[in-house]
Structure 1
C-alpha cells in the first residue's frame, strides 16, 4: 500500500499516495491505515490530495479506519479533491469528519508545543 507517514506537532499526517480508493484496495487500505496509526498521536490527519476517485467501498474503509483508532485518537481529513469531496458531501460524512482544505490548514491556529 502506498501510505506515507509524517509526524507533525501533536499529530501524525498520513498521505495516501494512490489515485483511487475503491473496492479493489479498500480492505488493504483500511488494514494499512490501522497499522500506521497504531501509535500515540492524538490526531491523525489523512491527506487525500493524491486521491482522484473514492467509491462507497473506499468511503467505508475510511469510516472503518476511524472506528479502529484508539479512543483518544481523532481522524481528520485534508486535501479532498472535487470528486472525493462530493462523495463525503452526498453521504453527509462531511458532518462526521473534520475536513481541512489542505494539510497546512489542519495545523493553522493550532498552538505549537514549545
Structure 2
C-alpha cells in the first residue's frame, strides 16, 4: 500500500495509491497515516479515488487514522467510488466524516 501526501493551501491531501483497504493492508495504512499526519496541518483530506474496496478492517483503519490525529486536526474523505461510498453510508460513517466529491479543488475543501 502506498500513500502519497501533497499540500495545497494549508491542506494535506493524502492519496491512497491502492485498490483496496482491507485486513491485509489495515495496519500498514494506519502506520503510514500516523507518519504522514504527525505535525501536519489542521485539515487532512484522504483521497480515495483509486480505492475500489474497503472491508470492515479497512473502515476501522480509516476511523483509527481519524482518532490518532491531533486535537486540532480533522480528517475529511474525498472522491469515494460508489462501492466505497456505499460502505460508508451503510455503516453511517458518512455522518462521522465530511465527504467531498473531489480532492482536486482545495478551495472548496477549505469551505467544507
TM-score range, shorter chain: over 0.9
The alpha-carbon deviation at position 107 of structure 1 amounts to 2.8
- 1:77 is aligned to 77
Moved over 6 A (4+): none
What's the TM-score, normalizing by structure 1?
0.92
- 1:62 is aligned to 62
- 1:33 is aligned to 33
CA RMSD of aligned residues (A): 1.4
The alpha-carbon deviation at position 108 of structure 1 amounts to 1.7
What's the TM-score, normalizing by structure 2?
0.93
- 1:52 is aligned to 52
The alpha-carbon deviation at position 40 of structure 1 amounts to 3.2
State the secondary structure of the residue aligned to 2:75: strand
Instruction: Please list every run of 5 or more consecutive structure 2 residues that lacks an aligned counterpart in the other structure.
Output: none
Q: Distance in 2 between matches of 1:66 and 1:107?
A: 22
Larger CA Rg, structure 1 vs 2:
1
State the secondary structure of the residue aligned to 2:104: helix
Instruction: Please list every run of 5 or more consecutive structure 1 residues that lacks an aligned counterpart in the other structure.
Output: none
Q: Deviations over 1:22-63 (max 9, x none)?
A: 001111101111111112301000000000000000000000
Q: Which stretch shifts more, 102-111 or 34-43?
A: 102-111
Distance change (3 Å), C-alpha of 1:68 and 1:110: closer
Give the number of aligned pairs.
111
